[in-house]
Amino acid sequence: MKLLLIENRYKTHLLEAVAQALSLKHDIYWIVQNHSFKPENGHSCVVPYPSKSELKAVKPNYKIDYDKIIESDRQINFFKKQDSNYFYYYANQIADCLLSVKPDFVFGEATAFHELLTIELCKEFNIQYLNPTTCRYPTGRFSFYNYESLEPFRGSNEVLDKVSAMEIITSINDRSIKPDYMKKSTLTKERILKDKLKIIKSYYSGERFNTPSPMVKWKLERQKEESIKRWYTFATDTIDSSKTAILFPMHMQPESNIDVWGRPYRDQFNTIKNIHQSLLKDQVLYVKPNPKSKYELSDTLINYIQNYDNIKAIKHDVTMNQIFDDIDLVTTITGTIAIECILTNKPVVTLVETINNKAKNCLFADDFEELKTHFKLIEAKSFPTISDDEKIDFLNMLNKLSFKGVITDPHNNPNCVSEENIGNIKKAFESVIDDSI
């Protein structure tokens, strides 16, 4: 079979190791956007960096939803990119590659603009696109997500026995384990500097579509630090137990969790404002920033929180462990905390519908009016709960829809390219490929 993979900076090195293992049975192709990360093996379609005249003259050749992709693009949303003609240029180039190769499967993330363009073109050409990424829990596993969705594509059908499942549930409940993506990076200062130099070099070589201007990035980093300092001056580290506490944990941005999977709610200020306006009497909304905040703490959000008594900011250094027991309900977009709430019977409402909502104690709010209805369940003490057996069934659903293996990049986690991990990932790839034959 023909397998086509999408370059994504350092993640490419992991995929290249997997592709090399698969190349004995399959033909390997690549679409490369950042030339600095071109794989050494396989057949690469390296998209030339466009000139200004090419961008000025380019026209869209395909009827795909460019607006949706532009809405999720971090360069336009955060890094001051103005012209959007490069979307048309890259779409035309990627389409030429897809039509030339005619792959049976395309594997890549659903994060960067060239990946999102490839996804829409794969839909147009009826090509299966799969996004291999962590399933969050159980740890050490990943799922293949269908196109840009959070819908798992097939799975291992592996079932945990009750004892093993309860051990995992207990470790999640007492927060003694974390999802793979939350584990600390082992990067040294030397590697960080080397990475920055490589990225800057690629920018000045022509890669200005996923890589921001160093000056723009520098200014944003300064603004970020100022926003975090300002947040800390009025934020709290405790929960008022005399009132019903609703928690909204913010997503770090830019990030595909919210910019792609949670696209309708990607304006977090607007989302928080609507949640706040849905509160009932004597309910307080607590906004917890991501511990690794980037550019989501806007002045507008900070000013809004400071204007009301029934919305509070949580300090960055307050962990979820410290406040979890004092929270009465969690509202999230696509956060991992939904799984943690399900397995602890902590009331949780999601604003995006996923497989997590198959658990009856994880409710979905189709709009903010429905969110109010769910808030009433807390006051009436009638929010649904599940039994230990139902928790085990839920965890096994996640297990059956996932595969053993850690999907990350070797830049941050060199262990991900170990012989054992590559073997596990290869086995998972072969499983979904073979099932389609």
What's the chain look like in SS3?
Answer: CEEEEECCCCHHHHHHHHHHHHCCCCEEEEEECCHHHCCCCCEEEECCCCCHHHHHHCCCCCCCCHHHHHHHCHHHHHCCCCCCHHHHHHHHHHHHHHHHHCCCEEECCCCCHHHHHHHHHHHHHCCEEEEEEECCCCCCEEEEEECCCCCECCCCCCCCCHHHHHHHHHHHHCCCCCCHHHCCCCCCHHHHHHHHHHHHHHHHCCCCCCCCCHHHHHHHHHHHHHHHHHHHHHCECCCCCCCEEEEEECCCCCCHHHHCCCHHHCCHHHHHHHHHHCCCCCEEEEEECCCCCCCCCCHHHHHHHHCCCCEEEECCCCCHHHHHHHCCEEEECCCCHHHHHHHHCCCEEECCCCHHHHCCCEEECCCHHHHHHHHHHHHCCCCCCCCHHHHHHHHHHHHHCCEECCCCCCCCCHHHHCHHHHHHHHHHHHHHHHHCC
Per-residue confidence (pLDDT) for residue 188, from 0 to 100: 79
* Mean per-residue pLDDT, 135-153: 97
Q: How far apart are CA 413 and CA 152, in angstroms?
A: 24
Give strand pairing partners of 5: 30, 107
Per-residue confidence (pLDDT) for residue 300, from 0 to 100: 97
Per-residue confidence (pLDDT) for residue 171, from 0 to 100: 95
Residue 124, amino acid: E
Flag whether pLDDT at 289 surpasses 80: yes
**Average pLDDT of the chain to the nearest whole number:** 95
pLDDT: which is higher, 178 or 92? 92
Flag whether pLDDT at 126 surpasses 70: yes
275: closest CA among 237, 310, 233?
310
Which residues, at least 6 apart from 186, have a Cβ–Cβ distance to it below 8 Å? 412, 413, 414
Q: How confident is the model at residue 437 (pLDDT cuts 50, 70, 90)?
A: low
Q: How far apart are CA 207 and CA 272, in angstroms?
A: 35
b/e map of 16-43 (b: 16 or more CB within 10 Å)? bbbbbbbeeebebbbbbbbbbbebeebe
The pTM of the full predicted model, rounded to 2 decimals, is 0.95
Percent of the chain with pLDDT strictly greater than 70:
99
- Residues 406 and 416: beta-carbon distance below 8 Å: yes
Angle at 264 between CA 272 and CA 10, to 5 degrees: 100
Most distant CA atoms of the chain, gap in Å = 65
Q: How confident is the model at residue 175 (pLDDT cuts 50, 70, 90)?
A: confident
pLDDT tens-digit readout, 183-232:
777 777 788 888 889 999 999 999 999 999 999 999 999 999 999 999 99
292: closest CA among 221, 236, 188, 200?
221
Per-residue confidence (pLDDT) for residue 412, from 0 to 100: 86
pLDDT tens-digit readout, 32-55:
999 999 999 999 999 999 999 999
Name the token pair of 411. 């830049």
Structural domains of the chain, with CATH: 2-161+402-435 (3.40.50.20), 231-394 (3.40.50.2000)
> Which has the minimum average pLDDT: 192-196, 235-239, 355-359?
192-196
* Mean per-residue pLDDT, 259-282: 97
| Backbone phi, psi, residue 9, to 5° | 45, -125
